[in-house]
């Protein structure tokens, strides 16, 4: 195991949700942290400010000869400017997943994995265990409202973490308990078929030390607190079952669920009045979109559900195009944005993929529009209709909701 105590560590891509959580974990291990990223604004910057870690713009000069270690986000390959400089100087480099696994595997680890619901389930399970006095360490892929952070530093042997299947990174982890949420084909740039995707989860199950929990183990009939939708009923029931395994009483589980305030970018409300709600959600897979919209339709009967959706990655959009086009039946109006492309992909040649998706979407949805110029259409009739304005996607679409909140606050 790597000893992080008193080590000088630089983090490449530090503004990412997972990297920000890791920065706090490494600081708790006694490391001195510096970091870098793009100039783009991220919703994790408040966390870095609280930690006293400044993010510099990417530059070779950020890599000092006295560094002990460079930890990099998987979004940045060997040719990234700082990684090249680290290699030149002979500084050891490990990935985010490798560093997190080092910390996790030294504890009794509970890994939460799956295509959908793992962030909410991880955060909720961590919150239940913390409220019950088990003092766990928790690493989450989003900012937990109860902690105003995406990590909780505990002193016990228990650790709860979110397992990311992308690039099979979760296979670095040796969980004591494994918690499997919904599994649904994703990341076609890593997994060339649904069968290959399933095999990765089977491999993770095989290296679990104690027990695997799945949604069939979820406790039924629990109050979901501030979480809405049938999908969250399952997330709550699954987290509750694992907590029960660790000796937490049903009474304490129910109390913790009621006090759980959710995770940033998981149906996060930015603005609310009697006739207008502005919210953002991380849903970026067809199944997630359908579940979120169905939950909203049930929770807000009589409201107009109007959505701005930003597809995330070309490979996912292409592989699941038909499914995306049919995902918005519970939305009254939809504005489709261009595809958010991460650093790991290049745009495919030929016809614009977002336009292809829009044409398919139009066949299923009469009130679908394309491009940012149409966003204001979703706010028409504000004085006549009750409008739930929702931004959706794993990219930077959340900034639209944030800007709208500021605009409304000036009215």
Q: Is the pLDDT confidence value at 87 over 70?
A: yes
Summarize the confidence of residues 248-276 as an average pLDDT: 95
Q: Residue 304: which H helix or E strand, with range?
A: strand 304-309
pTM greater than 0.75 (yes/no) = yes
Q: Which uninterrupted H or E stretch holds 83? A: helix 81-89
Burial class (CB in 10 A: 0-12, 13-18, 19+), 329: exposed
pLDDT at 349 over 80: yes
Q: What angle do CA 145, 152, 186 make, to 5 degrees?
A: 75
Q: What is the mean pLDDT of residues 309-322?
A: 96
Nearest to 230 by CA among 299, 138, 286, 151: 299
Q: Under DSSP, is residue 159 helix (H, G, I), strand (E, B) or coil?
A: strand
Report the pLDDT averaged over residues 116-139: 97
Pairing between β-strand 55-57 and β-strand 8-12 as defined by DSSP bridges? unpaired
Query: What pLDDT, on the 0 to 100 scale, is given for residue 411?
Result: 72
Annotated domain spans of the chain: 8-98, 107-259, 268-409
Residues 6+ apart with CB under 8 A from 314: 339, 341, 345, 346, 347, 348, 353
- Residue 342, pLDDT > 90, answer no
Closest Cα partner for 334 from 275, 279, 377? 377
Give the separation between CA 7 and CA 26, rounded to whole angstroms: 9
> How many residues in total does the chain contain?
411
- CATH class as words, domain 107-259: alpha beta
Split at pLDDT 50, 70, 90, the class of 2 is: confident
Quote the Cα angle for 17-23-29, to 5°: 145
pLDDT of 343: 61
What mean pLDDT is reported for the chain? 95
Confidence category of residue 382, pLDDT binned at 50, 70, 90: confident
SS3 163: coil
Q: Which CATH number fits domain 8-98: 3.30.70.20, 3.40.50.300, 3.40.50.720, 3.30.2000.10?
A: 3.40.50.720
The answer on pLDDT for 10 being more than 90 is yes
DSSP 325-394: HTS-TT-SEEEEPPPBPPTT--PPSSS-HHHHHHHHHHHH-TTEEESGGGGGGGGTTTTTS-EEEEEE-S
pLDDT number for residue 128: 98
Mean pLDDT, range 234-254, rounded to an integer: 97
Topology (CATH) of 268-409: 3.90.190
Q: Please check the confidence at residue 40 and state whether its pLDDT lies above 80.
A: yes
Mean pLDDT computed over 346-353: 85
Q: What are 156-203's pLDDT values in tens digits?
A: 999 999 999 999 999 999 999 999 999 999 999 999 999 999 999 999
């Amino acid at each position: 195991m790597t000893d992080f105590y008193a080590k000088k560590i630089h983090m490449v891509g530090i503004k990412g949700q997972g990297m920000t959580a890791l920065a706090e974990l490494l600081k708790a291990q006694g490391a001195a942290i510096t970091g870098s990223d793009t100039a783009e604004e991220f919703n994790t910057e408040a966390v870095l400010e609280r930690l006293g870690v400044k993010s510099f713009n990417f530059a070779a000069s950020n890599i000092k000869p006295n560094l002990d270690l460079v930890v990099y986000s998987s979004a940045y390959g060997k040719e990234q400017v700082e990684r090249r400089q680290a290699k030149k100087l002979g500084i050891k480099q490990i990935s985010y997943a490798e560093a997190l696994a080092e910390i996790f595997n030294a504890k009794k680890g509970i890994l939460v994995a799956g295509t959908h619901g793992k962030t909410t389930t991880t955060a909720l399970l961590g919150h239940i265990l913390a409220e019950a006095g088990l003092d766990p360490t928790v690493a989450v892929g989003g900012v937990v409202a109860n902690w105003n952070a995406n990590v909780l530093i505990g002193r016990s042997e228990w650790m709860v973490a979110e397992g990311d299947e992308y690039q099979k990174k979760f296979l670095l982890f040796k969980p004591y308990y494994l918690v499997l949420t919904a599994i649904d084909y994703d990341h076609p740039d890593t997994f060339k078929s649904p069968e290959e995707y399933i095999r990765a989860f089977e491999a993770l199950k095989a290296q679990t030390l104690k027990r695997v929990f799945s949604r069939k183990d979820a406790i039924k009939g629990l109050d979901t607190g501030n979480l809405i939708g049938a999908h969250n009923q399952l997330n709550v029931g699954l987290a509750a079952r694992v907590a029960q395994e660790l000796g937490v009483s049903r009474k304490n589980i129910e109390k913790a669920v009621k006090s759980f305030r959710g995770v940033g970018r998981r149906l996060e409300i930015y603005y609310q009045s009697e006739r207008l709600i502005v919210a953002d959600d991380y849903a970026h897979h067809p199944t997630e979109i359908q579940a979120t919209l169905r939950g909203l339709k049930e929770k807000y009967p009589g409201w107009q559900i109007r959505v701005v959706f930003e597809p995330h990655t070309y490979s996912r959009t292409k592989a699941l195009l038909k499914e995306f086009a049919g995902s918005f039946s519970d939305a009254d109006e939809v504005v489709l944005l261009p595809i958010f492309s991460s650093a790991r992909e290049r745009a495919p040649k030929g016809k614009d993929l977002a336009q292809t998706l829009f044409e398919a979407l139009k066949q299923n949805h009469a009130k679908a529009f394309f491009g940012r110029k149409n966003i204001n259409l979703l706010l028409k009739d504000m004085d006549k209709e009750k409008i739930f304005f929702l931004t959706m996607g794993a990219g930077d679409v959340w900034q639209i909701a944030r800007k709208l909140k500021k605009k409304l606050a000036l009215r």
